[in-house]
Amino acid sequence: METFVGQSPYDARYALFVGSAAERFVTQGFRIIENAIYKTSCGSVEVSIIGESHFAIVRDRTGRARCAELLACIRRDDQLAESVVIIRIAAQTRETLRLIREEVSIKTKIGVYLPREAGRSLDDLLPAFREPHVLEHAFEGPCAPRTRVAVKELQPGTVRIQTVHEYVRGDFRIVPIVTRTVITLLEDK
């Protein structure tokens, strides 16, 4: 298992990249702990766990990155300069966003939940994690936090990516951050 490195949940940023910015994002060189590529009728979805964080890349049938999402503790916002959206995570964040850019339709929901005792099941937050494509990593260290990513193709050209990230506060209580993103690749014009 990977050793846990404590990070504040309130240092986390959620960012979306589309088009050529998504392709450049892919080459950022993150330290990947777990990785999987899931084939879909429209191409593929690559998900990676990077620390308590994740990124996901949706590619079309030609292999071109059409969009990417990231939830991570980023100290420098210039690392996210090409993103179309940046959401700073704060206590009790509840965000819903919809956008259409460069032949991609995206709907995202983000929620930060109340601190909870370590070891409680993640299933009450996201019961849909019983889906076929789930990537999960549990860390050693205080509270044994976990990061979990689930991918499901809802219909041809549309995928859902759901995540839950457990961040450990200074008082050793878990702060779960949950994302749910539905991405539709629109026909090239």
- Give the Cα separation of 54 and 87 in Å (integer): 15
Q: Is the pLDDT score of 159 beyond 70?
A: yes
Q: Does 125 or 153 have the greater pLDDT score? A: 153
| Burial (0-12, 13-18, 19+ Cβ within 10 Å), 81 | exposed
> What's the DSSP call for residue 84?
S
Q: Is the pLDDT score of 189 beyond 60?
A: no
Could you report the per-residue pLDDT of 24-34, keeping only the tens digit for each?
876 677 788 89
Q: Which residues contact 20 (CB under 8 A, 6 or more apart)?
A: none
Helix (H, G, I), strand (E, B) or coil at 157: coil
Domain boundary assignment for the chain: 9-185
- Give the Cα separation of 113 and 118 in Å (integer): 13
Task: Pick the closest to residue 42 from 56, 58, 26 (CA basis).
Answer: 58
Most confident region among 75-79, 109-113, 172-176 by mean pLDDT: 109-113
For 151-157, which contacts have Cβ atoms below 8 Å and span 24 or more sequence positions?
Answer: 151/38, 151/45, 151/47, 151/56, 152/128, 153/40, 153/41, 153/42, 154/182, 156/41, 156/42, 157/41, 157/42, 157/184, 157/185, 157/186
Instruction: Name the band, by pLDDT with cuts 50, 70 and 90, for residue 1.
Output: very low
